[in-house]
């Protein structure tokens, strides 16, 4: 019998000191707590982070078909340690058999491990129906690019046990519009990305049911007609949410700021992290496909073409921190872009302010330093502490 737990901290939106009571894995109440607001070093409470694009993390590659259940579980535990409670493992362009094998691995881990199953929203398939144009394809393998194929999608659905949550595609590819309609009818989120589309293709994709732009401003050719172009078209389209990689490398600060201002409450932060997150700087041979360089500042790029990045090497918590550091938004705005906004896009319960009675007791406690460093001190999933920073006494406020 779960008799309930209690957490204290400052509410992420109001700054008020609150006590969050949980029972049976859900939030029972959020009540004002005594004590003055703003005690130094006091933790804040916010909804847990949701990352819709994680290729891998901390040495674990979701695109390696040989990874074990234990690897996937340890990736989940690591994500919890950086405040991410739910995420979409992202499978990228590869040959058909390898993509299916990676999807099967995720499905098996979900079926055998409740912690993994709870954390995985569903699989984000980024590719292989993408543009092969240099720049637009980013680090995706051109030789594996292909046109949209409903039958291939059905095999993904089977391999993943019905866990395909999102598909990123280039709408200019033959058959894309028809596939978008079918995916929408299936309840799958369709995202536009790695595209070289004309504006009319973007409009057609949205009419057919696309609702998201994958890492807008990246996965694009390096030289583009100033306007109109597919970036402006997506920025101005109010029906599209947009994912942004706020690692400080993928978009210049001014671009990130202008894009977030344009997308407002349809802005979503994603990490697009891969397994080089947490690795030592140096040169690596990525998935036996291309050589990459990881700089000490976290910039990860193709060794042959340094202008082209090869995914990101920073977790989502760093993106939240950067939104504040770069002067783009407040902590509350940054956290909303990495929790409430993706939850709304994915149709997940527990909307409101993320700390609503009746919602799943999934939240984080954090501290923010005066120079905008974010420290995750505790992650709570289903009313249980799944991560507590070493030295942090998580039980002091519980009964
Ligand atoms: Zn991408």
Q: What is the pLDDT of residues 298-320, one digit of tens each?
A: 899 999 999 889 889 999 999 99
pLDDT of residue 308: 87
pLDDT of residue 397: 47
Spatial neighbors of 169 by CB under 8 A, at least 6 apart, are 129, 130, 148, 176, 179, 180, 190, 191, 192, 193
- Return d(Cα 100, Cα 109) in angstroms, integer: 14
Binding-site positions for substrate: 139, 218-219, 226, 250, 309-311
Q: How remote is the CA of residue 151 from the centroid of ligand 1, in Å? A: 23
Overall average pLDDT of the 144-163 stretch: 98
Please list the residue range(s) of the chain that carry CATH number 3.20.20.140: 49-338
pLDDT of residue 94: 96
- Return d(Cα 171, Cα 138) in angstroms, integer: 16
- Return d(Cα 237, Cα 216) in angstroms, integer: 12
CB 32 within 8 A of CB 351: no
The answer to whether residue 68 scores a pLDDT higher than 70 is yes
DSSP, collapsed to helix, strand or coil, labels residue 105 as: helix
pLDDT of residue 31: 94
Ion ligand 1 residues within 5 Å by Cβ:
219
pLDDT of residue 39: 63
Q: How remote is the CA of residue 88 from the centroid of ligand 1, in Å? A: 14
DSSP, collapsed to helix, strand or coil, labels residue 182 as: helix
DSSP, collapsed to helix, strand or coil, labels residue 322 as: helix
DSSP count for the chain of H helices, then E strands: 11, 20
The answer to whether residue 45 scores a pLDDT higher than 80 is yes
Q: How remote is the CA of residue 229 from the centroid of ligand 1, in Å? A: 19
User: What is the maximal distance between C-alpha atoms in the chain?
Assistant: 63
pLDDT of residue 185: 98
pLDDT of residue 327: 97
CB 48 within 8 A of CB 84: yes
- Name beta bridge partners: 309: 301
**Residues 272, 353, 360, 362: which is the catalytic one?**
272
pLDDT of residue 1: 54
Least confident range of 262-266, 301-305, 332-336 = 301-305
| CATH of region 5-46+354-388 | 2.30.40.10
The answer to whether residue 134 scores a pLDDT higher than 50 is yes
pLDDT of residue 203: 98
Q: What is the mean pLDDT of the chain?
A: 94
The answer to whether residue 278 scores a pLDDT higher than 90 is no
Percent of the chain past pLDDT 90, that is, above it, reads 88
pLDDT-based confidence at residue 63 (cuts at 50, 70, 90): very high
pLDDT of residue 396: 42
pLDDT-based confidence at residue 351 (cuts at 50, 70, 90): low
Q: How remote is the CA of residue 130 from the centroid of ligand 1, in Å? A: 10
Please list the residue range(s) of the chain that carry CATH number 2.30.40.10: 5-46+354-388
Binding-site positions: 126, 139, 194, 215, 218-219, 226, 250, 309-311
pLDDT-based confidence at residue 287 (cuts at 50, 70, 90): confident
196 part of the active site: no
Beta sheet of 282-286, edge-to-edge order: 282-286, 290-294, 300-302
pLDDT of residue 314: 94
Q: What are the CA-CA distances from residue 321 to residues 139, 168, 229, 379 (Å)?
A: 26, 26, 30, 17
pLDDT of residue 38: 57
Domain 49-338 has CATH 3.20.20.140: yes
**Phi, psi (rounded to 5 degrees) for 214:** -80, 130
Closest CA to 52 of 13, 79, 26, 14: 79
CB 59 within 8 A of CB 275: yes
Q: What is the pLDDT of residues 2-36, one digit of tens each?
A: 668 999 999 999 999 999 999 999 999 999 987 76
């Amino acid at each position: 019998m779960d008799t309930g737990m209690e957490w204290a901290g400052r509410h992420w939106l109001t700054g008020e000191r609150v006590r969050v009571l949980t029972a049976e894995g859900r939030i029972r109440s959020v009540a004002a707590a005594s004590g003055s607001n703003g005690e130094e070093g006091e933790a804040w409470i916010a909804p847990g982070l949701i990352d819709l694009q994680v290729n891998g993390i901390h040495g674990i590659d979701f695109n390696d078909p040989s990874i074990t259940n234990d690897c996937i579980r340890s990736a989940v535990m690591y994500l919890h340690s950086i405040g991410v409670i739910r995420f979409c493992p992202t499978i990228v362009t590869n040959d058909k058999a390898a993509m299916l094998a990676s999807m099967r691995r995720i499905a098996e881990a979900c079926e055998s491990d409740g912690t993994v199953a709870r954390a995985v929203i569903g699989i984000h398939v980024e590719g292989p129906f993408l543009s092969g144009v240099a720049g637009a394809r980013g680090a995706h393998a051109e030789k594996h690019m292909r046109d949209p194929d409903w039958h291939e999608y059905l095999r993904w659905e089977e391999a993943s046990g019905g866990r395909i949550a999102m598909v990123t595609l280039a709408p200019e590819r033959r058959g894309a519009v028809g596939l978008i309609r079918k995916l929408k009818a299936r309840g799958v989120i369709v995202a536009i990305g790695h595209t070289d589309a004309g504006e009319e293709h973007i409009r057609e994709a949205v009419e057919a049911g696309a609702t998201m732009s994958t890492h807008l401003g990246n996965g694009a050719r390096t030289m583009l007609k100033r306007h109109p172009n597919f970036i402006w078209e997506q920025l101005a389209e109010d029906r599209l949410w947009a994912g942004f990689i706020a690692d400080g490398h993928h978009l210049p600060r001014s671009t990130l700021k202008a894009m977030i201002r344009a997308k407002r409450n349809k802005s979503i932060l994603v990490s697009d992290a891969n397994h080089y997150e947490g690795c030592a700087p140096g040169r690596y041979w990525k998935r036996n496909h291309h050589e990459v360089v990881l700089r000490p500042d976290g910039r990860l790029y193709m060794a042959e073409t340094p202008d082209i990045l090869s995914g990101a090497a920073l977790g989502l918590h760093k993106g939240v921190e950067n939104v504040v550091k770069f002067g783009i938004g407040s902590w509350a705005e940054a956290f909303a872009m990495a929790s409430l906004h993706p939850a709304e896009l994915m149709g997940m319960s527990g909307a409101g302010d993320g700390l609503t009675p009746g919602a799943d007791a999934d939240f984080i406690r954090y501290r923010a330093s005066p120079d905008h460093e974010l420290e995750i001190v505790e992650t709570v999933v289903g009313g249980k502490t799944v991560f507590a920073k070493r030295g942090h006494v998580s039980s002091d406020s519980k009964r």
